[in-house]
Amino acid sequence: MKQSMAVLPSRTSLALILLAVLISLAFAQCEARGQEVGATQPSVGVQWQVTELAFTASARYADPFDYRTSRFHAEFRGPAGETVRIPGFWAGGDSWKVRFTPTVTGRWTYATTCSNTADLGLHGKHGALDVAVAEGHGLAEHGGFLKVSPNGRYLTYTDGTPFFWLADTWWTCPSAKVSIETFHRLVDTRVAQNYTVFQAHGFRSLGTGGGVNAFQAVQSASADVAAYWNAVDRYYAYAARSGLLGIIGFYGGWSLNTYTYENHERLWHYVLARYGAYPITFLITQEYNVMTPSTKGKDLDERFVELGAFIKAHDPYDRAMSVHPWAHGRDNRRAWSEPWHDFTLLQAGHFTRVRPSYYWDIYFKTAAKPFVQSEQNYEGFLRDSFSADASCIRASAYSAIQTGSFGFSYGAQGLYGGVVSKDQPGPTSRWGAVLTWDEGLILPGGRQLQHLRSFYESVDWWRLEPLPGACLGDHRILVKSDRAQTFALWFPEAADRPSELQLLATRCKGAVYSGRWTNPRTGENTATEPVSVPGERLSLPVPPDAQDWLLVLQHKAGGTILPMVTTAEWHFGKGLQGWDVELGISDLKLRDGCLVGTITGPDPILLSPAGLNVNVTHTPVVEIRLRNGTPLTEGRVYFRTSADDTFRGNSVSFDMAPSERGMVTYRVDMTGHRHWCGWLQQLRIDPGDFRKTDIVPTGRFAVESVRLVSARSERGD
């Protein structure tokens, strides 16, 4: 007997009929209708918008979700010969569909194939599609299949236009916790507030009294299953029509304890077929590396890494994708090097203040890959003296972006979990006073973030790079720049801000910059007086008050870009060059082109000149040519940078050869230290440390040269 849409019990039949009417109306507004298969006239489509083609199977399929045996595809060929192979999907009864989004305008043709070649309803169908130019919001104008930028620092729309990430978190969407009417309000509110993304991993039933969830809805075909997917359609169609991109996943890192890996693959293959044409991308699951019984002490369940590769391999549009991690203190970065892992979602967690050096470590010291702070300090969370209020939200967002994130994901108490009633708070009760979703939606921090996107788009944010420690006098002020043409500075709240601040890396003497203050609470802009550069540094204007502020400086005239000092070297055949000793060393002198000294104390210290102001972003190695005349076999390099202006805790050890080796070149890799970034202020070299030994501090040393080099620099002994 051929499968068909079963008739439900009489009490729900009217509801299903009404649901079908609503779905048809939704698609009529947001999608181009394909003509009946076999029609002589081509269908009409729009670039970057979903076109749906409907087919009627002539054969019976016992398990239409088994993509290994029930294979149905349509291959589309574009006007320049480009091809896209799109999987079809079962849509209930004997109905099958293909959803396709054309990436270029002009005429596309298509041909279908089915593993059952005798099914003339699915196999061997041909047609054409005339695609018109897109108009409207960003996703409609530029395409919603995200790509990685050429420099690996941010994401773009499909056509290469930079994509600013400002997300809201609705983990329980779609589900009965977030009705379609609620979803409309969420989308409408956030789109009006400049948001571009929603984060979700809703897999639960859409029925208030139960019903199938996403994992169950790919196990066998039924009328209930068809109704579930038809209802889900309305969410993705509305978001696409409104211009909000979704980053979606299912369940959490513990889902493999409940559903098999094969069930996960079935679900994702169906989602790619049914929704892959929509402007969405993938986070696979929430907290993929959380500890569960199935991990058995391992860092994570490796099957999630395998699942990421599966999703990537079956995505016809090869969009940029990621995976949602556990809190960053427990994120082992296992997926970061995977070929399917195109950008990195970070989770700072809650009740946290992230040090800028954490972000700089990722930005400057890993292979270039975009990252975004995707979960930090949901507004309304409260614990002891830590309140995630609007000020905390602004600090979390602006500090992340100023240090390298290509955007920010917001979340709010009650809203993230879809709380409908305070009597049923679910896990939200652990995080402070319970809010419902509608109360969370109107919290001030979420509203104020609408100014975040406006601010960054006003300064071509994708051209700016972090400048760690560029503000002398207050390391809390975070700076980005595009080679001194534009500076964007974030001033955090500070009651003790110094009255005089200077900016490094500006254009030199005679340059003039215009400026404006932006209030991140209101979005209001106030022009400053033009700022002139008297020498090599620019004196910053004083913020209007002790609250957080944004400052933009735009170069208008004069001055040239000073070459940024990115290396330093000292060859002691040229003299002391400002090096000196402190404690533990006596009789420092020059001899035979070397700096020679006698160790007399337990902690011998050799110091470079202070105030070096050398950018160490691209010079991660300290190279020392040294003769060790002590009985010790370990030395240490200390440093002060603009990221942390003390030697305390800022050091890296290196093994020293015994004295009979003579002069040896040591290459000390500093990349493992989080504070080796920004501007180096001073170096300190300890040719031994006797404090934790029983050895009497004695011996002589000789240093021929010290220099900063890139990791690729080579030099023999």
Average pLDDT over every residue of 137-152: 96
Whether the per-residue pLDDT at 15 is higher than 50: the answer is no
Q: Is the pLDDT of residue 398 over 50?
A: yes
Residues 336-378 pLDDT 10s: 999 999 999 999 999 999 999 889 889 887 788 999 999 999 9
- Please, which pLDDT band fits residue 7 given cuts at 50, 70 and 90? very low
Do the strands 162-163 and 43-46 form a parallel or antiparallel pair, or are they unpaired?
unpaired
pLDDT-derived band at 326 (thresholds 50, 70, 90) equals very high
CATH 2.60.120.260 domain position(s) in the chain: 569-709
- Report the C-alpha gap between 639 and 651 in whole angstroms: 6
The region that residue 586 occupies, defined by phi over 0 for left and psi between -120 and 50 for alpha, beta otherwise, is beta
**DSSP conformation letters of 417-479:** TT---TTS-GGGGGGSS---HHHHHT-HHHHHTHHHHHHHHTTTGGG-EE-TT-EET-TTSEE
Can you give the pTM of this predicted structure? 0.84
CB 381 within 8 A of CB 350: yes
Is-contact 412 440, C-beta < 8 A? yes
Say how many residues make up the chain: 717
Rg, the chain, Cα only? 30
Which percentage of the chain shows pLDDT scores above 90? 72
CATH number of the 31-135 domain? 2.60.40.10
Dist. CA 157–CA 138, nearest whole Å = 8
Which of 44-48, 364-368, 526-530, 587-591 comes out lowest in average pLDDT?
364-368
pLDDT computed for residue 671 by the predictor: 80
* pLDDT, average across residues 509-513: 94
| Span 155-194, pLDDT tens digits | 999 999 999 999 999 999 999 999 999 999 999 999 999 9
Q: Summarize the confidence of residues 76-100 as an average pLDDT.
A: 97
Decide: 206 and 415 in contact? Cβ < 8 Å: no
pLDDT of residue 564: 65
Q: What is the pLDDT of residue 562?
A: 72
CATH fold for domain 569-709 = Jelly Rolls (2.60.120)
Residue 404 pLDDT: 96
Residues 260 and 215: their CA atoms lie apart, in Å, by 10
**Architecture, CATH, for domain 467-557:** Sandwich (2.60)
**pLDDT at residue 681 in the model:** 86
pLDDT tens profile 218-248: 999 999 999 999 999 999 999 999 999 999 9
pLDDT band (50, 70, 90) for residue 197: very high
Average model confidence (pLDDT) for the chain?
90
pLDDT digits (tens, 9 = 90+) for 657-686: 987 788 999 999 988 787 887 788 899 999
- For residue 702, list its beta bridge partners: 596, 627
pLDDT in tens, 200-221: 999 999 987 789 999 999 999 9
Cα–Cα dist 258/346, whole Å:
26
pLDDT value at residue 6: 32
φ, ψ of residue 329 in degrees (nearest 5): -70, -20
123 or 472, which is more confident?
123
Query: Is the CB of residue 37 less than 8 Å from the CB of residue 125?
Result: yes
71-85, 392-406, 492-506, 513-527: least confidently modelled range:
492-506
Phi and psi at residue 345, to the nearest 5° = -90, 130
Separation CA 625–CA 660 (nearest Å):
15
According to the model, what pLDDT value does residue 712 have?
56
Residue 26: the pLDDT is 40
Q: What is the pLDDT of residues 466-491, one digit of tens each?
A: 998 888 888 899 999 998 999 999 99
CB 26 within 8 A of CB 234: yes
Q: What is the 3-state secondary structure (H, E, C) of 338-376?
A: CCCCCCEEEEEECCCCCCHHHHHHHHHHCCCCCEEEEEE
- The pLDDT value recorded for residue 571 is 95
Burial tier of 430 (Cβ tally within 10 Å: 0-12, 13-18, 19+): exposed
- Which of 128-142, 269-283, 413-427, 682-696 comes out lowest in average pLDDT? 682-696
What integer pLDDT is reported at residue 659 of this predicted model? 79
Lowest mean pLDDT among 103-112, 432-441, 565-574: 565-574
Q: Which one is predicted more confidently, 691 or 273? A: 273
Which CATH number fits the domain 139-461, given the four candidates 3.60.21.10, 2.60.120.560, 3.20.20.80, 3.30.2270.10? 3.20.20.80
For the chain, the maximum distance between any two Cα atoms, rounded to a whole number of angstroms, is 101
C-alpha dihedral sign at 232, 234, 238, 241? positive
Q: Which amino acid is at 543?
A: P
Provide the token pair at 223: 């009328």
Q: For residues 235 and 279, is the Cβ–Cβ distance under 8 A?
A: no
Q: Is the dihedral of CA 429, 434, 439, 440 positive or negative?
A: negative
Q: How far apart are CA 93 and CA 78, in angstroms?
A: 31
E strand segments, 584-646: 585-591, 594-599, 606-607, 614-615, 621-629, 634-641
Q: What angle do CA 292, 293, 296 make, to 5 degrees?
A: 100
Query: What pLDDT digit, counting tens, does each position of 262-310 carry?
Result: 999 999 999 999 999 999 999 999 999 988 877 777 777 889 999 999 9
